[in-house]
Structure 1
């Protein structure tokens, strides 16, 4: 099969050839691409042109970058659906979106000063100490979603629930952990907005920097309207659909 001779920017021509090799089976799933230097020499372009072509194909879901290893033809994966509904406590981490069936890794750090934006969402002064927990959600041992949770230490400090993923209440969720402190979580707000992956996020998730994603800003409030936790859930658009299930009040018979 003849490879395409695409007009336009050089990186589009390189991307078209690589796409063609994947489509016709010359490069199958799991195939490790030659280095950028080798590809650049083959196509008569610089490594930056090859990088742009690879990033385009990563954003299309055809390639994936593996830290310290290289760029590979991606194995096709089915899109998942994140169901944003209330669910009972499970042995998943409390921040895990409903519908997620993979595994996770979590790392908590105490006494982290709240950045201005996080402090505003929590209703505290900038710089007040929080516990920050960073999550990586994994499917087939590969990160597929990221999240960062913040909780004021003025609420949880010195208690058994200070670490969301540690102690006897690990992974039970915000509501269950706050209930141990006599705090009732009454409502949760979520604000989804479109974002683009920065280089760190792209590196972790094997996607192109600038690829589309949804950032869900989630905050838990108690019965007095006080924010007790806030989180950013980073959801790659190439991997997930987000579905909200909203219960409506029923009419009296």
Structure 2
């Protein structure tokens, strides 16, 4: 390759990207072997691998175990509406665009130090942890969430397990209301991340894929945290929107 305007794998990735966006490499096209591509572009197989991995993280290619690397079909981009507080009306457990979800709760888990700090409880105090896997219509994972609730609040009640009992699958707001607890506000912290091995496996994406991480905590009318969760949202599938109600705001931001 004569082009020296960037790292070799970036130059190769740009060439592949052009072939995909122009339609020369159509959806479901199986890429030639790395050896063949390396000879064609005058680079080593490792350069081809890095270029393919970059385009996989961008959602343009996908690796199929035992079958090779293919041009990926465009994914529908979903919009996730986030609001500054629950309510008006109670937010559903799953955002629009998600067909179903799987959940698994484990009770009496000691709260790790960071979770205890978020819930304002003692480290080691018993909590219920619930792992959620949200799925699209084809039952492909599209986001994940790990939720923690203090058992000092929900223990020995009908809502102790978010995935079981008469309130299974209901929102935190609804479940807490059953206990006479009004959830009145939520805080969220967001940051971009690259998925680690566990996150990538859960979401069905390559390790290192771009994602949005949201740390959310719900508070009751006494400003007590009642639940905290970590949401991992693949960046190639979701646009995260915030609809902020500014009525009654008096401070400058």
Instruction: Return the TM-score normalized by structure 2.
Output: 0.81
Deviation by residue 1:39-74 (Cα, 9 ceiling, x = unmatched): 146415666444322220022220134567654321
SS at match of 1:56: helix
Spell out the pairing of 1:79-118 with structure 2 (5 A cutoff): 79-85=77-83, 86=87, 88-89=89-90, 94=93, 96-97=94-95, 99-118=96-115
Q: Give the superposed CA RMSD.
A: 2.8
> Are the counterparts in 1 of residues 107 and 128 from structure 2 also a CA contact under 8 Å?
yes
SS at match of 1:55: helix
Mean Cα deviation higher: 39-48 or 137-146:
39-48
Per-residue deviation at 1:13?
4.6
Per-residue deviation at 1:231?
0.5
Structure-2 separation of matches of 1:210 and 1:152? 32
Report how many residues are paired.
241
Structure 1: gaps of 5 or more residues: none
Shift of the 79–126 alpha-carbon distance from structure 1 to 2, 3 Å rule, reads same
Spell out the pairing of 1:7-86 with structure 2 (5 A cutoff): 7=4, 8-33=6-31, 38-40=33-35, 42-43=37-38, 48-65=46-63, 71-85=69-83, 86=87
Mean Cα deviation higher: 71-80 or 121-130:
71-80
Correspondence for 2:192 among 182, 191, 194: 194
> Which 4+ runs in 1 deviate beyond 6 A?
none
Shift of the 124–201 alpha-carbon distance from structure 1 to 2, 3 Å rule, reads same
Instruction: Return the TM-score normalized by structure 1.
Output: 0.81
2:171 is the alignment partner of 1:173: yes
Structure 2: gaps of 5 or more residues: none
Structure-2 separation of matches of 1:19 and 1:61? 11
Structure-2 separation of matches of 1:50 and 1:63? 13
Per-residue deviation at 1:26?
4.8
Structure-1 separation of matches of 2:22 and 2:100? 34
Shift of the 24–247 alpha-carbon distance from structure 1 to 2, 3 Å rule, reads closer
Correspondence for 2:235 among 234, 237, 246: 237
Correspondence for 2:135 among 129, 133, 138: 138
Structure-2 separation of matches of 1:151 and 1:70? 43
Aligned to 2:119: 122
Per-residue deviation at 1:170?
1.0
Correspondence for 2:182 among 181, 184, 209: 184
